[in-house]
Amino acid sequence: MEGHSDDDDEYRRKAKIAVVAMVVLASIAVFALFLAFAYYCYIRRKVFMRRNAQKAEDANLCEKSDFANLQVVAEKGVKVFTFKQLHSATGGFSKSNVIGHGGFGLVYRGVLSDGRKVAIKFMDQAGKQGEEEFKVEVELLSRLHSPYLLALLGYCSDNNHKLLVYEFMANGGLQEHLYPVSNSIVMPVQLDWETRLSIALDAAKGLEYLHEHVSPPVIHRDFKSSNILLDRKFHAKVSDFGLAKLGPDRAGGHVSTRVLGTQGYVAPEYALTGHLTTK
């Protein structure tokens, strides 16, 4: 009987240990679930706050790029044109002078009163994004000066008319030569490898200037063949800065933003994370 009693005591002791172990494990599991839920809520809140901050930034873009500030660019070599001047330069915005089009609007060939050939981009009045791009381009290009970037010569903000005036690039966009279409305005040219490498090098120098020689650096966000323009001698210049964003001040840093750009040309890591880096 005494041996049997010892067995019962041992059994009860092991049962108590098992119960205590189950309680401890259950407590740990509940605590782990609580931590996971708290972390999930934290991430959700962080994402929500980041989205709200981005929306606020986009909403304030017009204020940050106020036209009172744009008047200063005239001192930096960017001229303010009247609508009448540009209307005259393009022959009344004749269809025969249309040399391109995009999300912003139509691009016209024009000749200024001093005889200079120019490209005039006419903002589509129905596009809010176009108005934001207009202001971003004027602000950025008024302070960016490189032989590898398309030069902004001036702009017009006359009532509801918003136009940008650029140097004229006789051979249009690189895309027109890589992927010729029957109704192309520019006569496509079969590019040899030496010319292709030269164009690639010019475009790379444009990006190098934006990333390495400007502080804070500028990230283009829409770098593609149609935004690489070619002059008469096929020297290349990077254009279209409407989606550009200021990059991180420090090396290795990043800026969180909504993913913008053209499908097929966006870096995969940017598309997945929304983090911009100069790399």
* Binding-site residue positions for ATP: 121
Q: What are phi and psi of 183, to 5 degrees?
A: -100, 25
Residue 222 is a catalytic residue: yes
Q: Which tokens belong to 142?
A: 């008024």
Distance CA 29, CA 36 (A): 10
For residues 276 and 266, is the Cβ–Cβ distance under 8 A?
Answer: no
DSSP state of 159: T
Distance CA 165, CA 113 (A): 13
Give the residue among 240, 268, 242, 244 at the shortest CA–CA distance from 257: 244
Q: Where are the beta strands (DSSP E) in the chain?
A: 79-80, 98-101, 105-111, 117-123, 152-158, 161-167, 218-219, 228-230, 236-238, 245-246, 255-256, 275-276
Binding-site sequence positions: 121
Residue from 6, 124, 222, 240 carrying the catalytic annotation: 222
Distance CA 237, CA 119 (A): 14
Measured in whole angstroms, the distance separating CA 9 from the mean position of its chain's CA atoms is: 74
Residues labelled catalytic: 222
